[in-house]
Amino acid sequence: MRGTGFSILVVVAIILVGAAFLIGMPTYNVYSKTMAGKAAYEEAVQNRRIRVLEAQALLDAAELTAQAEVARAKGTNEANRIMAESLGGPENYLRWAYINMLQETAGSGDRQIIYLPTEAGMPILEAGRRPPAN
């Protein structure tokens, strides 16, 4: 008799566990999907925050680059103005810049053709390079 009572108790326990499983499984599925949805939402919010911060960083970098370009242009403008004034005006500055360019290119190993303006303002176009006409 003792074996029969134990068997009935085991069967009842299995039925109760099965009933709890059948009742609890849909509830667990709902809970699991809710938690997965919240996690996906939080991930989307975090990704959006990251994209916004990256865009802000790009904007800041572009603004700082623009400010640096403006400062460089102002510095170049001021340096050119000072140089032009010290040489006696813009014409003399351009003449100095031209002579400086000639000096810089004269030291290079590559031979270059340089057109020099004449008194009429027109360059002499390779006058000595052409063979004489027959």
Residue 107 in 3-state DSSP? coil
Q: What is the pTM of this model?
A: 0.46
Q: What is residue 117's DSSP assignment?
A: B
Which pLDDT value is given to residue 22?
A: 81
- The structural domains of the chain, with segments of one domain joined by +, span 2-106
Q: Which tens digit of pLDDT belongs to each residue from 87-98?
A: 888 888 888 888
For the chain, the residue count is: 134
pLDDT in tens, 57-107: 999 999 999 999 999 999 999 998 888 888 888 888 888 888 888 777 776
